[in-house]
A and B are shown apart, each in its own frame.
Chain A
Amino acid sequence: MKKLVLPLLLFMFLTGCNDDQKTLEVNDIGGEESEKVKIIMENEEEIYSGRAIFVEDQLLVAVQAKPWLDYKKTKIEKNLKKKLEESFPEYDITVSSDYKLYWEAQKLLKEDDGEKLKKKVEKLKKLKKEET
């Protein structure tokens, strides 16, 4: 029994980091914009998952940085925001790698009521700015 513990642990450690499948989700507005966002996120090497929410003139993108790249989150956010701004100059873009925004974005993906959606996105933008 004791001899099995070490190989088992090693196995768990090694399989934990073996997942290259990217999960990308965009809320349903139709048109080429959602495809465009998906392509941009697909090309971003440093993230493993991303969710984008379009509402009126707002675009909220919540991503998750790869575990070992957690320390340069702000840089990843900045780069992605720059790329998105080039493709969507007419949108007010918010990019975040925070887990809170990522989690809330999942709920917003299913939200159909435009008014509510906008309110929630505004709230998330405010949360992102909070420091303490």
Chain B
Amino acid sequence: MEQEKFDKIEQEITPRTPYVKNVLKAFFVGGLICTIGHAITYFYIIFFDFTEKTVGNPTVATMIFLSMLLTGFGLYQKLGQFAGAGSAVPVSGFGNAVISAAIEHRTEGFVLGVGGNMFKLAGSVILFGVTSAFVVALVKLILVSTGVIEW
């Protein structure tokens, strides 16, 4: 009985999570980041010799570089606090995860601190990214060889 009472009181007191507001914030900030990414894509297509097929690599590199700079200056964490997943899901969140881990473990030395901990968070992104890319490629290969879609 005591436990139930406690649960009830706890639920009444805890402030409600503003899900809708959070989702909207994430949607718009994430969309903004992707718009910037798209602008960079067109920049590379128009001013350099990249096609839509090849422009992905320099765009991703630039986005990660920008978010690394912002993380270093302490601006990305403010954005992350405001937008949540909106700033973590695009590739710029990957750069943030790498650099913030490196900064955090700087005091432990270069090899065991920065080197050993740099990919503490981003390592899982790489692992599951490669794994899911493999699975998706496998699905596509099956679909192509059965003639459902074309390359």
Contact surface of A with B, Cβ cutoff 8 Å: 74-75, 78, 98-101, 103, 127-128, 130-132
Closest-by-CB residue of A relative to B151 is A74
Kindly list chain A residues whose C-beta atoms are within 8 Å of the C-beta of B42.
99
Chain B, range 25-65, C-beta contacts under 8 Å to A: 42, 45-46, 49-55, 57
Contact B150 A98 (CB under 8 A): no
Among A75, A78, A98, A103, contact of B53 (Cβ-Cβ < 8 Å):
A98
Q: Shortest beta-carbon distance, A19 to chain B, in Å? A: 19
Closest-by-CB residue of B relative to A78 is B150
Contact B52 A100 (CB under 8 A): yes
| 6 A-B pairs with least C-beta separation | A100-B51, A98-B52, A98-B51, A100-B45, A99-B52, A127-B51
Q: A99-B52, A101-B51, A128-B51 are in contact. List 7 more A-B contacts (CB 8 A).
A: A78-B150, A98-B51, A100-B45, A100-B50, A100-B52, A103-B46, A127-B51
In the assembled complex, 27 residue pairs joining A and B whose CB atoms fall closer than 8 Å, in A order, are: A74-B150, A75-B150, A78-B150, A98-B51, A98-B52, A98-B53, A99-B42, A99-B45, A99-B51, A99-B52, A100-B49, A100-B50, A100-B51, A100-B52, A100-B55, A101-B51, A103-B45, A103-B46, A127-B49, A127-B51, A128-B51, A130-B51, A130-B53, A130-B54, A131-B53, A131-B54, A132-B57
Q: Is the interface of B mostly helix, strand, loop or mixed?
A: loop
Query: Bound complex: CA of A128 vs CA of B150, how far in Å?
Result: 18
* Number of B residues, CB within 8 Å of A: 13
Closest-by-CB residue of B relative to A131 is B53
Contact surface of B with A, Cβ cutoff 8 Å: 42, 45-46, 49-55, 57, 150-151
Q: Shortest beta-carbon distance, B47 to chain A, in Å? A: 10
Query: Bound complex: CA of A101 vs CA of B49, how far in Å?
Result: 10
Q: Shortest beta-carbon distance, B6 to chain A, in Å? A: 38
Query: Bound complex: CA of A37 vs CA of B8, how far in Å?
Result: 74
Q: Shortest beta-carbon distance, B39 to chain A, in Å? A: 13
Query: Bound complex: CA of A99 vs CA of B151, how far in Å?
Result: 19
Query: Bound complex: CA of A127 vs CA of B45, how far in Å?
Result: 11
Q: Shortest beta-carbon distance, A71 to chain B, in Å? A: 9
- Which of B45, B150, B151 has most chain A Cβ within 10 Å? B45
- Which of B42, B52, B54 has most chain A Cβ within 10 Å? B52
Kindly list chain B residues whose C-beta atoms are within 8 Å of the C-beta of A98.
51-53
Q: Shortest beta-carbon distance, B50 to chain A, in Å? A: 7
Contact A132 B54 (CB under 8 A): yes
Query: Bound complex: CA of A78 vs CA of B150, how far in Å?
Result: 11
Closest-by-CB residue of A relative to B41 is A99
Query: Bound complex: CA of A26 vs CA of B55, how far in Å?
Result: 27
